[in-house]
């Protein structure tokens, strides 16, 4: 359905449209009407005719399950009628007048598909054929409002009328985004429009007349002008934009409900009243709310200077996107491009204001490359579309008939330029920042990503919470020296500070286990005496010794000093051996 509505010309062309409407308005005979309609359809371009044939074939198939899906030919005609047949002019009076005939034509195309496209005879059992044969014509809105039990045909009338009203409101709301376009008098008339719309939507008015609108303007226009001047142009525009947006949302929601066949009788009748009264209201207010589109030379110059700057930024973003390896930067560029494209398309600053210029938080993963590639693919046609729109805006400054849009374009382009400056600065900061250090693959991240966990103590050493533990004795020292226990290091000596406090005295450094002056826990084994150190056998006593031995010689009378003792026999017992250098004195 959306595809049909976006076609520059409907599937049933404007020329054939008017001829079909005229045929259904004038012809009363069933066969003559169908025959003329079939002839007119042959005038459609070949592509249009073939597509219409396939579409009607599909809709005809859907109606075969109408008992389950409720998609009767009449209901389908209401849904597809505005997309297949419509006027070139947006005249609500003519649209309301043609809608019943549009529904009847599309209904007959579905029900009489075999007759129109397969050369079969007319199916006289169809609802359309029976209604036409009995002389029933398309009912009027007044009859539906007056109490007709069959009001389904008027859903299309209400939908078309609400679509026209919604389109008018959307244009006004978009223009309220530019305070330069408005003067106090034009905004005062918009206050009148908003007042009546609120009453129509609230169902406070069932029938609006021209006199009602004129009396409101005459009685309250001055007070509305004073209110605009007190608020200021910008604040008044913001207030009216918000109020009219609420009314436009109600209209859009009602259209959805009507198209889905979910509306009850009261809503259908209220929608018809809103569409009819809204048409009259717009016709009376529209001449008084013409925008002031006077264009200055500065506006034109501003557009001509800003467009090349934006194009330069866009080229930089395009290059950055195509070479991007950082996922947060790719996301930011994607946001900006989508917002800029929508803003330029809708001529609205709202999409620009909604863009978040901050880089998103993200943890790197193996899927980042694929994500970046998908963003690049999605923006493939966005950059050319933006460049084409900017070129069109620039060309319009040289066209006298299009210079009136320069005010809107100037404000919009300045907003976009400011956005691009912020984004460019953030991207440059991201590119200049060093990449974060990746954690060791074997390490486990701490909870919450805070400080790393403390270093675990050595599995053999037990932490004391204060000074480091004393040096352990040498592992070969198994003896127990004084003050040393086998279960641990010696007690920590304590001293006193000059002020009387206690201070720790550093432990003595353990001596090397090979030092001969230090007691160790295990002494080396005793030395084996040298084989040559064995003493010779004792000298046998002199044979004349014993009792018969001569007395010792008397000292020389002249020798007052005793002679030196006789030196021992060279083979006598040697002096005791010096201790081994590795031995220790006894404890």
Give 255's contacts (C-beta < 8 A, 6+ positions apart): 159, 162, 163, 166
SS3 string, 395-425, reads: HHCCCCCCHHHHHHHHHHHHHHHHHHHHHHH
Q: Vertex 171, ends 167 and 173: CA angle to 5°?
A: 115
Give 317's contacts (C-beta < 8 A, 6+ positions apart): 333, 336, 337, 383, 420, 423
Tens place of pLDDT per residue across the chain (587 aa): 667 877 888 889 988 888 888 888 877 777 788 888 888 888 999 898 889 989 998 988 888 887 777 788 888 888 888 888 888 876 666 777 788 888 888 988 988 888 888 878 877 666 555 443 333 333 333 333 333 334 555 677 778 888 888 888 888 887 787 777 788 888 898 999 999 999 888 888 878 888 888 888 889 889 999 988 998 888 998 899 889 989 988 888 888 888 776 667 778 878 888 888 888 888 888 888 765 555 566 777 888 888 999 999 899 999 988 888 888 888 889 989 999 998 888 878 888 888 888 888 877 788 888 889 988 888 888 899 999 989 888 888 887 666 666 666 777 888 899 999 888 888 888 777 666 555 555 555 544 455 566 666 665 555 555 556 666 666 665 544 444 444 555 555 555 555 555 555 555 555 555 555 544 455 566 666 655 555 566 656 655 555 555 666 666 555 556 556 666 655 655 666 666 656 555 55
Q: Give the other-Cβ count within 10 Å of 37's Cβ.
A: 21
SS3 string, 294-338, reads: CCCHHHHHHHHHHHHHHHHHHHHHHHHHHCCCCHHHHHHHHHHHH
Which phi and psi angles does 351 have, rounded to 5°? -60, -30
State the Cα–Cα distance between residues 77 and 127, nearest whole angstrom. 13
State the Cα–Cα distance between residues 538 and 583, nearest whole angstrom. 31
**pLDDT value of residue 146:** 37
Q: Which residue in 82, 4, 24, 5 sits closest to 258, CA to CA?
A: 82
pLDDT digits (tens, 9 = 90+) for 284-343: 888 887 655 555 667 778 888 889 999 998 999 999 888 888 888 888 899 899 999 988
- Among all chains, which residue has been given the structure tokens 């009995």? 134
Which structure tokens are listed for 498?
A: 């000059």
Which structure tokens are listed for 204?
A: 């406070």
Q: Which residue in 243, 247, 224, 233 sits closest to 178, CA to CA?
A: 233
Q: Which residue in 117, 165, 410, 381 sits closest to 272, CA to CA?
A: 165
State the Cα–Cα distance between residues 61 and 83, nearest whole angstrom. 19
pLDDT digits (tens, 9 = 90+) for 137-174: 333 333 333 333 345 556 777 788 888 888 888 888 87
> Ramachandran region of residue 146, left (φ > 0), alpha (ψ -120 to 50) or beta?
alpha
State the Cα–Cα distance between residues 333 and 385, nearest whole angstrom. 16
**pLDDT value of residue 480:** 47
In the chain the first and final C-alpha atoms are separated, in Å, by 111
Please say whether the dihedral angle defined by the alpha carbons of residues 519, 520, 526 and 529, taken in this order, is positive or negative: negative
Which structure tokens are listed for 360?
A: 């998103």
State the Cα–Cα distance between residues 217 and 224, nearest whole angstrom. 9
**pLDDT value of residue 578:** 63
């Amino acid at each position: 359905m959306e595809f049909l509505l976006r076609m520059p010309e409907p599937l049933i062309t404007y020329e054939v449209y008017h001829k079909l409407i005229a045929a259904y308005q004038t012809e009363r005979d069933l066969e003559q009407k169908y025959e003329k309609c079939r002839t007119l359809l042959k005038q459609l371009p070949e592509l249009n005719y073939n597509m219409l044939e396939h579409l009607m074939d599909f809709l005809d198939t859907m109606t075969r399950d109408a008992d389950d899906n409720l998609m009767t030919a009449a209901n389908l005609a209401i849904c597809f009628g505005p997309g297949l047949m419509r006027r070139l002019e947006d005249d609500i009076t003519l649209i309301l007048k043609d809608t019943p005939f549009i529904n009847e034509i599309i209904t007959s195309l579905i029900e009489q598909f075999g007759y129109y496209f397969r050369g079969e005879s007319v199916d006289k059992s169809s609802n359309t054929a029976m209604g036409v044969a009995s002389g029933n014509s398309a009912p009027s809105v007044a009859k539906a409002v007056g109490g007709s039990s069959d009001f389904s045909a008027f859903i299309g009338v209400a939908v078309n009328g609400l679509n026209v009203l919604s389109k008018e409101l959307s244009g006004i709301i978009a223009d309220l985004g530019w305070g330069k376009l408005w003067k106090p008098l034009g905004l005062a008339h918009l206050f009148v429009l908003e007042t009546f719309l609120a009453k129509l939507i609230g169902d406070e008015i069932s029938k609006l007349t021209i006199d009602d609108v004129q009396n409101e303007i005459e009685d309250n226009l001055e007070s509305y002008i004073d209110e605009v001047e007190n608020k200021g142009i910008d604040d008044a525009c913001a207030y009216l934009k918000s109020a009219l947006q609420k009314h436009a949302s109600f209209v859009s929601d009602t259209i959805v409900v009507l198209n889905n066949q979910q509306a009850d009788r009261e809503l259908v009748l209220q929608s018809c009243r809103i569409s009819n009264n809204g048409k009259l209201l717009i016709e009376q207010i529209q001449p008084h709310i013409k925008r002031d589109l006077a264009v200055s030379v500065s506006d034109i110059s501003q557009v001509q200077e800003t467009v090349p700057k934006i194009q330069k930024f866009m080229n930089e973003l395009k290059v950055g996107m195509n070479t991007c390896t950082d996922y947060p930067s790719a996301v930011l560029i994607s946001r900006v491009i989508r917002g800029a494209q929508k803003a330029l398309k809708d001529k609205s600053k709202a999409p620009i204001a909604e863009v978040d210029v901050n880089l998103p938080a993200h943890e790197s993963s193996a899927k980042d490359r694929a994500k970046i590639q998908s963003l690049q693919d999605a923006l493939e046609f966005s950059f050319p579309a933006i460049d084409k729109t900017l070129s069109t805006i620039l060309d319009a400054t040289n066209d006298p008939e299009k210079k009136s849009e320069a005010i809107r374009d100037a404000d919009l382009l300045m907003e976009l330029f400011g956005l691009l400056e912020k984004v460019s600065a953030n991207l440059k900061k991201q590119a200049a920042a060093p990449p974060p250090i990746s954690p060791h693959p074997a390490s486990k991240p701490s909870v919450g990503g805070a400080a790393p966990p403390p270093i675990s103590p050595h599995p053999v050493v037990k932490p004391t919470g204060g000074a480091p533990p004393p040096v352990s004795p040498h592992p070969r020292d198994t003896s127990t020296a004084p003050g040393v226990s086998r279960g641990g290091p010696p007690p920590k000596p304590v001293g006193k500070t000059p002020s009387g406090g206690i201070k720790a005295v550093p432990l003595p450094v353990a001596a090397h286990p090979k030092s001969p002056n230090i007691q160790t826990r295990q002494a080396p084994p005793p030395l084996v005496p040298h084989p040559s150190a064995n003493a010779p056998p004792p000298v046998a006593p002199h044979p004349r010794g014993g009792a018969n031995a001569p007395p010792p010689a008397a000292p020389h009378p002249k020798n007052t000093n005793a002679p030196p003792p006789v030196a021992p026999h060279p083979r006598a017992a040697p002096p005791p051996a010096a201790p081994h250098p590795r031995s220790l004195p006894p404890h």
